[in-house]
Amino acid sequence: MDLRITRVTWAGALALAGALALSAGVQAKEPTRAELEERIRRLERIIEQRGLDAPPPGAPPARAVPAAEPAAPPLEQSTVEAIVDEKLRKQKVLAGWKDGFFLESASGDFKLKLRGYTQVDWRNFPVNGGQTNSDSIFLRRVRPILEGTVYKYFGFRIMPDFGGGSTTLQDAYIDVTYFAPWAKLRGGKFKPPLSLERLQSATDILFIERSLANSLAPSRDIGFQLSGDVYDGLLTWQAEYANGSVDGGLNDGDTSSNKEGIGRVFGHPFKPLGVPALANLGLGVAGSYGYPEQGDNEEGDNVGTQLRYRTTGRATWFRYASSSTVNILADGRRWRIIPQAYWYWGPFGFMAEYLLSSQQLKRVDTKAETETYGDFTNSGWFAQASWVLTGEDNSFTGITPINPFDPWNGRWGAFELGARGGWVDIDDATFEEGFATLGQSASKATQYGVALNWWLNRAVRISLDYEHTNFDVPVLFGSEDRRYEDVLLLQLQLGF
């Protein structure tokens, strides 16, 4: 007989006998805990004596239970914090700070950003002979900026300005970016793509005030614009259909039946060469063409009341001869051509442009009942250079200090030194034909100046400028004739 079968049989019989005995005991009298433990011990002895607990022949040996591995040492606090930080970095942040306060949906299709900047200026005329305006402390610009994206491909920007004691809507537009960067559609009120200096943000310009020559380009216009970026900035282009604004002006509505076409191309032709010194050399040209008059029997833009060319000290040095009986009106085509360039290499920065602005005008004298027609072209240029004394990279979008302001730890921010020259020439025929008056206006103005900028951090800048402007003839400012202007400007800026 097979020994394995015998052992199994005995084990089964004993188990059955134990079960029957327990069943009978329950029916007769419920055993105590001590009695049950004694019965179990007797069964264990029987199984051990008969060898029923031995493994059957040929059975594999019992697997040894491995010893427990030693517990891993606890992680240090710094290691735990590093792991947590890495986990957080991999998570998408839906609210916080990134060049402004922002909120964002989990998908990223909806975004809202709050930005803005404030500039507080102090203006002083240190030389009596060059005092064209009053010494003053004022809010130059106060501009909250609300930007956002809805449904991934549709953006917007709204920027009012509360500076200068008045409220003006500077920007209000919608962007459609489905085909970006090759093509983007914009509609609303924004900077027309003309002057390079105007396209640079007021928070990043080298001097506190833009150059005299920038008066020959409009500030804002309302229209539709197509733009694109080819080969990662190698070439950018803009084409706009707009209402049309006078030099230095902005409009909030349509003032003429005809419109103005605007175009610009700007590129970095040496970028593919891989030469660092030439990578940020940009060259471009912009232009506009249109007919701002309203029609054969209607009056055009009243440039006599709208157009002002101002000095760095914000004093008007040129205006058309407009009065209660004399109006200067747009009466025909208007065009502008503006070649432009910049160059940034390490701490060095340079920018220059030349501006031509031509306009056909009509002088209406209601008292004399006369009309005079003229075609005038004004021109101007400016050039500026800067050097970041602390070694940071110079750029079109401002400077980011390597060591933000923290003097207790020996960090003072970044310092930038700049110089600028410029010139504006008014068409002589403007005065010869009675559209402007010498003495009330000058026909030529030349400026030069120096600037020192202290970037405490990316958001805060303190600027100090000194500029001198010469006029070709004495100009009446208030009750005094001035041949020149000397002005000292100080500005505290917070922009984010």
Residue 392 — very low, low, confident or very high, per pLDDT cuts 50/70/90? very high
Residue 216 — very low, low, confident or very high, per pLDDT cuts 50/70/90? very high
Q: Which two tokens stand for residue 443?
A: 């026909």
Q: Determine contact, residues 240/259, Cβ cutoff 8 Å.
A: no
Q: Say what percent of the chain tops pLDDT 70.
A: 84
The one-character DSSP state at 68 is P
Q: Which two tokens stand for residue 408?
A: 């207790």
- Ranges 8-22, 96-110, 210-224, 318-332: which has the least confidence: 8-22
Per the document, the length of the chain is: 496
Residue with tokens 């208007």: 334
The confidence score (pLDDT) of residue 49 equals 67
What average pLDDT score do residues 469-493 get? 96
Taking alpha carbons only, the member of 455, 463, 457 closest to residue 404 is: 457
Top pLDDT among 26 and 281 is at 281
Maximum CA extent, the chain: 145
What average pLDDT score do residues 284-294 get? 88
Q: Determine contact, residues 361/353, Cβ cutoff 8 Å.
A: no
Amino acid at 16: L
The confidence score (pLDDT) of residue 202 equals 97
Q: Determine contact, residues 255/291, Cβ cutoff 8 Å.
A: no
The confidence score (pLDDT) of residue 100 equals 87
pLDDT digits (tens, 9 = 90+) for 232-254: 889 999 999 999 999 999 888 87
Alpha-carbon distance 373 to 363, whole Å? 6
Spell out the SS3 assignment of 383-429: EEEEEECCCCCCCCCCCCCCCCCEHHHCECCEEEEEEEEEEEECCCH
What average pLDDT score do residues 312-327 get? 93
The confidence score (pLDDT) of residue 296 equals 46
What average pLDDT score do residues 10-21 get? 43
The confidence score (pLDDT) of residue 6 equals 40
Q: Determine contact, residues 269/236, Cβ cutoff 8 Å.
A: no
The confidence score (pLDDT) of residue 69 equals 58
Alpha-carbon distance 98 to 158, whole Å? 18
- Ranges 42-51, 284-293, 410-419, 469-478: which has the least confidence: 42-51
pLDDT digits (tens, 9 = 90+) for 36-69: 777 777 777 766 666 655 665 665 555 555 555 5
- Whether the pLDDT of residue 364 is over 90: the answer is yes
Residue 198 — very low, low, confident or very high, per pLDDT cuts 50/70/90? very high
The confidence score (pLDDT) of residue 301 equals 76
Q: Determine contact, residues 373/300, Cβ cutoff 8 Å.
A: no
Taking residue 72's Cβ as centre, other Cβ atoms within 10 Å add up to 6
Residue 211: φ, ψ to 5°: -70, 165
- Whether the pLDDT of residue 26 is over 70: the answer is no
Taking alpha carbons only, the member of 195, 322, 212 closest to residue 262 is: 195
Q: Say what percent of the chain tops pLDDT 90.
A: 70
Taking residue 417's Cβ as centre, other Cβ atoms within 10 Å add up to 15
* Prediction pTM value: 0.79
Residue-wise DSSP of 229-250: EETTTTEEEEEEEE----TT--
pLDDT digits (tens, 9 = 90+) for 433-465: 999 999 999 999 999 999 999 999 999 999 999
Residue-wise DSSP of 322-369: --SSEEEEEEEEEEEEEEEEEEEETTEEEEEEEEEEEEEEEEEETTTT
Taking alpha carbons only, the member of 350, 341, 457 closest to residue 399 is: 457
What average pLDDT score do residues 402-430 get? 97
| Average pLDDT value for the chain | 88
- Ranges 80-89, 375-384, 420-429: which has the least confidence: 80-89
Q: Determine contact, residues 276/328, Cβ cutoff 8 Å.
A: no
What average pLDDT score do residues 313-339 get? 94
What average pLDDT score do residues 463-490 get? 97
Residue 480 — very low, low, confident or very high, per pLDDT cuts 50/70/90? very high
Bridge partners of 446, per DSSP, are 423, 470
pLDDT digits (tens, 9 = 90+) for 65-101: 555 556 566 667 777 777 777 766 666 678 888 888 9
Taking residue 192's Cβ as centre, other Cβ atoms within 10 Å add up to 28
- Whether the pLDDT of residue 317 is over 90: the answer is yes
- Ranges 220-224, 256-260, 326-330, 376-380: which has the least confidence: 256-260
Cis peptide, bond prior to residue 269, ω within 30 of zero: no
Q: Which two tokens stand for residue 95?
A: 């609210």
The alpha carbons of the chain give a radius of gyration, in whole angstroms, of 41
